[in-house]
Amino acid sequence: MTYAAEIQRQRATIASLGEKWAAIDPDMAARMAVQNRFRTGLDIARYTAKIMREDMAAYDVDPASYTQSLGCWHGFIGQQKMISIKKHFGTTKGRYLYLSGWMVAALRSEFGPLPDQSMHEKTSVPALIEELYTFLRQADARELGMMFRELDAAKDAGDAVNTHRLLREIDEHQTHVVPIIADIDAGFGNAEATYLLAKKMIEAGACALQIENQVSDEKQCGHQDGKVTVPHEDFLQKIRAIRYAFLELGVEDGIIVARTDSLGAGLTKQIAFSKEPGDLGDQYNAFLDCEEVAPTDITNGQVFISREGKLLAPKRLPSNLYQFRAGTGEDRCVLDCITALENGADLLWIETEKPHIGQIGGMVNRIREVIPNAKLVYNNSPSFNWTLNFRQQVFDAWEADGKDVSAYDRARLMSVDYDGTDLADEADERIRTFQKDAARDAGIFHHLITLPTYHTAALSTDNLAREYFGEAGMLGYVKGVQRKEIREGIACVKHQNMAGSDIGDDHKEAFAGEAALKAGGKDNTMNQFAA
């Protein structure tokens, strides 16, 4: 609905209620409605699911149409990210938000900082989704509010050209609300617990939920040791639970991202149930590290499975966990992915130990032999040492090609001594094009960085603390922060406006008329940033 049509709708509503609503301005009511186009989290989930489905279809046609996101641990961080994207690129198309369970655990738990082991309150996840969208909706209201002020000024000046332009821009305003891929970890319990939490996350606005095939009560960060996976049927129950949650809430296009940690997980808690040779349970059990046992050699406490007429004893650790055979990680990942897609998942996530296009692409090619349009969400993780990994990849490629690498020590390639060398420059170029190349060659539809704003907050705070508490004093803030904000057009340099002061003034004027006590008068020090 256009702004003009919304005004007409509000006029009709107000007129129908007679004199008692005579003081209500239909134009202001229309502005408030336009500034808040999303009424509920489910409105957001339905709207963003459609966007994400369209983006997935576009990627299937052209892998250059991959999408990206950054992990955000606070609504303000997500808001500033989207404001920045609109400022620099003019559109939010193809840019999402990522909600990292790691950052919820480390930064948002009432227990204080926690490791990424699903120990944080499960309710903190939907709470953060709701917070992120609250801040994005406020960014819409702020931006449109400034446009309405410009519109009033153009009308007062009799400027028909700018009036027409602003009315068109208001009608075509692109929201800051974008899809969010939200981490539900391993579901925080059984399938019923997963279903209940999924509903809360969807109701808060999430259109895409990422779930992993680890044991809930043994869950570890994807880049830590000691990961324990579950048999496929256990995982598929949770995928089905999430789909039921989406359907119950009327988000038919909701997206499920199935993550496998099998590449780095060498342990399982269960032996899978199997009815017949070759079924899914039997395939899972085939990866177990077993020893054939003669009946005369059975010892106390052993557990056995039978296969092809043989009695096999899976190796069981003192932790009561069973281990997989070494070198089976990629095969298990491929089976996990195919099984998940065949049973209702929409996208895959393979957690790897390094960002290597050949490794990822090799697995994706095998998956696509069964599911031709299989595609990934991939974690461009800060847990990888990108500099060292890519310098070593270049070193290995050069060595394989017979190029002289005697000037380089492979183990020391992180050293600043190699900065500016041909090898370092080629590695940096490979890092720069990694997302484009991996989208084309490794089936990666969505690139995200899980924890970037955790690291940028730490880095910027360290820089400010070093300067402000050192010799620079106040210049440390002014030169290092405020002057840059002003010259680079960072919206929150006017922090009162960013926090909603001008929106509040507009509302005060609507509510109280000439009696309104507004904050944005001539004595507001934010006016110093107008120049």
Q: What is the pLDDT of residues 500-521, one digit of tens each?
A: 888 887 887 787 777 767 766 6
Angle at 110 between CA 106 and CA 111, to 5 degrees: 70
DSSP state of 325: P
221 a catalytic residue: yes
Nearest to 228 by CA among 271, 267, 286, 284: 267
Q: Give the pair of three-digit tokens for residue 509.
A: 């004027």
Q: Which of the residues 221, 290, 333, 337 is marked catalytic?
A: 221
The pLDDT score that the predictor gives to residue 176 is 98
Q: What is the pLDDT of residues 454-509, one digit of tens each?
A: 999 999 999 999 999 999 999 999 999 999 989 888 888 888 888 888 888 788 77
The residue that leads in pLDDT, 247 or 264, is: 247
Place of tokens 């050293």: 415
Output the known binding site for Mg(2+): 183
Output the known binding site for substrate: 100-102, 222-223, 259, 379-383, 450
Please check the confidence at residue 222 and state whether its pLDDT lies above 50. no
Taking the chain, what is the end-to-end CA distance rounded to the nearest angstrom?
Answer: 36
Q: Looking at 183-197, 240-254, 302-316, which range is the least confident one?
A: 302-316
Q: How many CB atoms lie within 10 A of CB 4?
A: 12
Homologous superfamily (CATH) for 39-139+177-268+329-353+362-375+443-469: Phosphoenolpyruvate-binding domains (3.20.20.60)
DSSP state of 324: B
What is the average pLDDT across 404-433? 97
**Residue extents of the structural domains in the chain:** 1-36, 39-139+177-268+329-353+362-375+443-469, 381-441, 476-513
Q: Mean pLDDT over all residues of the chain?
A: 92
The pLDDT score that the predictor gives to residue 357 is 95
The strand pairing partners of 448, in sequence order, are: 69, 379
Contact yes or no for 254/286 (Cβ under 8 A): no
Contact yes or no for 184/234 (Cβ under 8 A): no
Q: What is the pLDDT of residues 240-252, one digit of tens each?
A: 999 999 999 999 9
The pLDDT score that the predictor gives to residue 416 is 97
Q: How far is CA 488 from CA 88, 134, 268, 481, in A?
A: 11, 26, 52, 10
